[in-house]
Structure 1
Amino acid sequence: MPGLSSDTIRQLSDLHPKPDIKFQYGTAGFRTVATVLDSVLFRVGILAGLRSKKLDGKTIGVMVTASHNPEEDNGVKLVDPRGEMLESSWEAHATTLSNASTTDDFIQVLETFVQTAKIDLSKPSRVVYARDTRPSGPALIAALEDGFKAIGVDAHDAGVTTTPILHYLVRAINTKGTPESYGEDSEEGYFLKLSEAYKKLVAGRATPEPLLLDCANGVGADAAKKLSKYLGDKLPIVLTNTAIGTPGALNNACGADYVKTSQKLPPSLSNLLKPGQRGCSLDGDADRLMYFHLDERGQFRMLDGDKIAALVAAFIVELVKGAGLEEHIKVGVVQTAYANGASTKYLADRLPVKCVPTGVKHLHHAAEHYDVGVYFEANGHGTVLFSPSTQEMLSQHQPSTPAQSTALNHLINLTQVINQTVGDALSDMLLVEVVLSHKSYSGIEWDSLYTDLPNRLVKVKVADRNIFRTEDAERRLVSPVGLQDKIEGLVRRYEGGRSFVRPSGTEDVVRVYAEAVLRPQADELAFRVAGLVYDETGGDPASRPREFI
């Protein structure tokens, strides 16, 4: 292979044989049980180097993480030069390369790929990489580094850090010394950027009550501890679930995914959170955020990604109007079908709302079409994007009153406190705290913006998820034929009923979501639809939904 040493690739590839497993690069990259990922990491190392060469030596990111998954899992994903997700056309290349069964097959597929993708192998290749705290991380990093060696990548190890920090680093490295400079290209630069912007946004305002922060016993614990030092007394934070070194603790009965799926307080926080106090949870790699509080009766109340979107979008609309820019800057919100129907109604009464298929790449892409695009999945993953033209307008606009000047400065500082590359739990936490401070809201006032419709999510194992195909942003099934009509027949029996079925992107399961006006009806509808899916498509007997009637 001209420009690449097949002998070196062969020698190193033989150290990382592929198991008899089919891999697929999905929304979150490759993700599965860590013990089978060795060959994938080696090949991703090569792919990352080739991606950099294809883009004239721009720095590509590689993150080794499985986010909210159990500790025994791991995964890897690539990050493009502006800190965004890997270009979708390259996802198929990643899948193809990962599934070559032998070293000879892999080299052949690699040679074909280099030719068809017109990759100039004489170009430099640069990669920055990092991992979370999973015990399997070091071995997988070693396999990744062999991939780098195989094609001579200039690789920089960012160590153990959060996924959002890795995304930040990629963009900061690639924009360094340009008019679009995103910040200092170091972890310290990240903390400085966020903390300084936060301090400006809350200057002169009362110090809030301490925030209880559940770190999911993951890498976010270290990052939150560092951020807290930069914030000082401007935001008192009480860190909990910080046992990074405790085997099996990661995401175990704690973290953002636990809060969202179980809709209850992590047991470890039951004696810590007091009525009226704010609390929030990160996930294992700190890219998801879930808020919560106890109401006047001491009842747990969840403030999920939908609630965050409502709070943040309305605040930004107010600031745009306050700056006198409402005719020039249009704010929009992007949701998925999992967004609670009540949140969609609340937002649609105030600004444009678009629904897209599940997955960060779909949300991020759609948000880029607005001057200011707000997107949050209900699971707590999201951010706010200010278009380049909007940021330029903010920097050049001449306010005509002191009030306009104040609102304008707040908008400018928001662009700095928000990590616009990807959903970032710590950045989003600061954003939420800014809005709560400006609005003088407790969790109770925030929660009262609208009342969630009761909802239920059920998972059904199936023999083949690929027989399920959807349309209308995954809200309707087109295959298996006839199943959608039967689902709609069930939905019509329930007041305020809504339900949809979508296949997982990574495993042979389908997810059933249901809403209704009353909690028992939402539960019943979810399990009835799950039972319908099971009966119609031959579900796995071990996963037969047990609660449907």
Structure 2
Amino acid sequence: MTAQLPVESISKLSELHPKPNHIRFQYGTAGFRTLGNVLDSVLFRVGILAALRSKRLDGKTIGVMVTASHNPEHDNGVKLVDPRGEMLEAAWEVHATSLANAATTSDFVEQLEALIRSAKIDLSKPARVVYARDTRPSGPALVAALEDGFKAIGADARNAGVTTTPILHYFVRSINTKGTKNEYGEDSEDGYFTKLSSAFKKLVTGKPQLPPLVVDCANGVGAEGISKISPYLGESLTLIPHNTATTTPGALNNACGADYVKTSQKLPPSLASVLKPGQRACSLDGDADRLIYYYLDDRGQFHMLDGDKIAALVAAFIVELVKSAGLEGEIQVGVVQTAYANGSSTKYLAEVRSTHLFVYRMRDRVDRLSSPQRLPVRCVPTGVKHLHHAAEHFAVGVYFEANGHGTALFSPETQEKLESHEPTTPAQSTALNHLLSLTRLINQTVGDAISDMLLVETVLAHKSYSGLEWDSLYVDLPNRLVKVVVVDRHAFKTEDAERRLVSPKGLQAKIDDLVKRYDGGRSFVRPSGTEDVVRVYGEAVIKSQADELAFRVAGLVYDETGGDPATRPKEFI
């Protein structure tokens, strides 16, 4: 007898989680994300959707993460993770949105049955899910709603507890590759920390030990990750955690964390009396998938090392190892950016030769080795799924958003080549072993602040770089990011990898006219994928002009579209 949807069970439990009236939910780049107190029905329905996704993929384990990342503490959200640890297939985002907005239980059941028919889901297949949450106060109640969804459809669900988003992604791939030739790792936190720390220790063996690293944990779940990995690292790297108050109401991401540092371009106030000139520091975000570095110079001036700087450091290092391993011409390294990438970083990367050892600029010293083939740099729309997909087209694809979210992907063919390649010299053998260790150090499922932190520390140890020397690779063009709350962010449509507006009509021409007035000017406007705002980016040769450009464009956005007066930025009142 063909298995049937358990309508009675789903209907009974669905009535406990009614959809709020007058709210429309949207599954975006980061899944569903809004105020935590209105998400109860969404979590219940996501539980059922995750089970159906698993059944559609012959019982492979699907991940569900309850988090709102860098958002304020009162927000929350949920996203699904596909079997290889990647983001949910785009076509299923539409299903998620439709199910979340079904007005009644009967509408919801009707849509479920339609999905089962259209996606040809065999309900007799098993449904396996692994789920976790961050430290937000709304997390336990939302997880309870999620578990009701699993119960309603009879899913085999594993609770991974409170952990970082990247660890949940790691679990999903590890579970689904267990016992195969592509086994990713042991599906436990111990397995994760052991894999990363072992690779890191191999990579820095014989290198001068770096000074201790100050880590701003954003008062989020990353604090637990940093605390847990420290014993695994031992003496290879000393971490000094700050902003670890995961149970203090209102502390999460409040004047701290990667988003605060990137947006405000200054130290978290809590580190003002902690960080010494020349000392390295970094900030994670609320769920530990973003990473921003920074340091103070001898005059106490703040210098940020964001995702662009990380991409430049990492890409050039991998290029160096590929050449040293004797694999130049066989393994192509490419970099993927978004429109938010600083213009100087794009120029720097475009000038990096695919076989050059490294570019080192500090004061009057310049060392450069090059050959004719340039390092490919691609620009794609904002959002991890776009970056990740584009990076998969390279043998080694490095992607980092300027906000500090990113990773490096080694294709299966590249992985096999590294494992089968026979080095002919001791230097080639060393470089090859370093590349193999990098494939284990880097969390290739998603951007991972802890993994990326160890990756950065690896490169700094190999190059004997301080923050100043790393920062000297290229000089950022001054830039400013401004948020404008508008009546309808969906009225903003873009093209050319989100660098130009096509709607509202006529607004792009006005932006173009403004940009022409500034030396090195560049600006673009795009709707946020995670918040009810429009983001405005401005860039120019002089900081005051970058600020002015960004706020003047923000003023155009406000005036053209009827922004919310309560949120009008002070700079253009």
**In the alignment, which residue of structure 1 is the partner of 2:20?**
19
1:174-213 CA deviation, whole Å, 9 max, x = no partner?
A: 0000000001111110000000000000011122110001
Contact 1:465–1:507, Cα closer than 8 Å, also in 2: no
**In the alignment, which residue of structure 2 is the partner of 1:4?**
5
Secondary structure, in 3 states, of the residue corresponding to 1:527? helix
The one-letter amino acid of 1:117's match is A
The one-letter amino acid of 1:10's match is S
Q: Pick which of 84-93 and 292-301 moved more.
A: 292-301
1:188-244 CA deviation, whole Å, 9 max, x = no partner?
A: 100000000000000111221100011111111111111011000100111111111
Which whole-Å CA distance do the structure 1 matches of 2:277 and 2:12 have between them?
Answer: 61
The one-letter amino acid of 2:203's match is L
Contact 2:479–2:540, Cα closer than 8 Å, also in 1: yes
**In the alignment, which residue of structure 1 is the partner of 2:157?**
155
* 1:366-385 matches, cutoff 5 A: 366-385=390-409
Which whole-Å CA distance do the structure 2 matches of 1:135 and 1:534 have between them?
Answer: 34
Contact 2:292–2:304, Cα closer than 8 Å, also in 1: yes
**In the alignment, which residue of structure 2 is the partner of 1:102?**
104
Asked if residue 417 in structure 1 is aligned to residue 441 in structure 2, the reply is yes
* 1:231-246 matches, cutoff 5 A: 231-246=233-248
Unaligned runs of 5+ in 1: none
* 1:278-297 matches, cutoff 5 A: 278-297=280-299
1:62-107 CA deviation, whole Å, 9 max, x = no partner?
A: 0001111111111100000000000000000000000001111111
* 1:105-144 matches, cutoff 5 A: 105-144=107-146
Secondary structure, in 3 states, of the residue corresponding to 2:571? coil
* 1:428-447 matches, cutoff 5 A: 428-447=452-471
Secondary structure, in 3 states, of the residue corresponding to 1:512? strand
The one-letter amino acid of 1:264's match is K
**In the alignment, which residue of structure 1 is the partner of 2:60?**
58
**TM-score normalised to structure 1 length:** 0.99
Which whole-Å CA distance do the structure 1 matches of 2:100 and 2:291 have between them?
Answer: 31
Q: Pick which of 507-516 and 50-59 moved more.
A: 507-516
**In the alignment, which residue of structure 2 is the partner of 1:298?**
300
**1:263 CA drift (Å):** 0.5
Which whole-Å CA distance do the structure 1 matches of 2:335 and 2:308 have between them?
Answer: 10
* 1:126-525 matches, cutoff 5 A: 126-350=128-352, 351-525=375-549
Which whole-Å CA distance do the structure 1 matches of 2:137 and 2:305 have between them?
Answer: 31
The one-letter amino acid of 1:16's match is H
CA RMSD of aligned residues (A): 1.0
Contact 2:65–2:132, Cα closer than 8 Å, also in 1: yes
Contact 1:162–1:220, Cα closer than 8 Å, also in 2: yes
Secondary structure, in 3 states, of the residue corresponding to 1:547? helix
Provide closer, same or farther for how the CA distance between residues 489 and 85 of structure 1 changes in structure 2, counting only shifts above 3 A: same
The one-letter amino acid of 2:309's match is K
Secondary structure, in 3 states, of the residue corresponding to 1:228? helix
Which whole-Å CA distance do the structure 2 matches of 1:403 and 1:30 have between them?
Answer: 49
**In the alignment, which residue of structure 1 is the partner of 2:359?**
none
**Identity across aligned pairs (percent)?**
78
Contact 2:514–2:549, Cα closer than 8 Å, also in 1: yes
Q: Match for 1:38 among 37, 40, 57?
A: 40
Which whole-Å CA distance do the structure 1 matches of 2:316 and 2:68 have between them?
Answer: 32
**1:2 CA drift (Å):** 5.0
Which whole-Å CA distance do the structure 1 matches of 2:563 and 2:207 have between them?
Answer: 56
Which whole-Å CA distance do the structure 2 matches of 1:5 and 1:380 have between them?
Answer: 43
Which whole-Å CA distance do the structure 1 matches of 2:555 and 2:568 have between them?
Answer: 7
The one-letter amino acid of 1:180's match is N
Which whole-Å CA distance do the structure 2 matches of 1:310 and 1:178 have between them?
Answer: 34
1:332-366 CA deviation, whole Å, 9 max, x = no partner?
A: 00000000001000001111100000000000000
Which whole-Å CA distance do the structure 2 matches of 1:548 and 1:105 have between them?
Answer: 46
**1:544 CA drift (Å):** 2.8
Contact 1:63–1:78, Cα closer than 8 Å, also in 2: yes
Unaligned runs of 5+ in 2: 353-374
**TM-score normalised to structure 2 length:** 0.95
Which whole-Å CA distance do the structure 2 matches of 1:330 and 1:353 have between them?
Answer: 12
Which whole-Å CA distance do the structure 2 matches of 1:482 and 1:432 have between them?
Answer: 43
**In the alignment, which residue of structure 1 is the partner of 2:366?**
none
1:96-137 CA deviation, whole Å, 9 max, x = no partner?
A: 000001111111111111111110000000000000111111
**1:548 CA drift (Å):** 3.4
1:463-485 CA deviation, whole Å, 9 max, x = no partner?
A: 11222111000001111222111
Which whole-Å CA distance do the structure 2 matches of 1:500 and 1:321 have between them?
Answer: 37
Which whole-Å CA distance do the structure 1 matches of 2:456 and 2:529 have between them?
Answer: 30
Contact 2:208–2:464, Cα closer than 8 Å, also in 1: no
The aligned length equals 549
The one-letter amino acid of 1:56's match is D
1:1-36 CA deviation, whole Å, 9 max, x = no partner?
A: 952211100100000010011000000000111100
Q: Structure 1 segments of 4 or more deviating over 4 A?
A: none
Secondary structure, in 3 states, of the residue corresponding to 1:212? strand
Q: Pick which of 110-119 and 533-542 moved more.
A: 533-542
Which whole-Å CA distance do the structure 1 matches of 2:231 and 2:71 have between them?
Answer: 29
Q: Pick which of 418-427 and 451-460 moved more.
A: 451-460
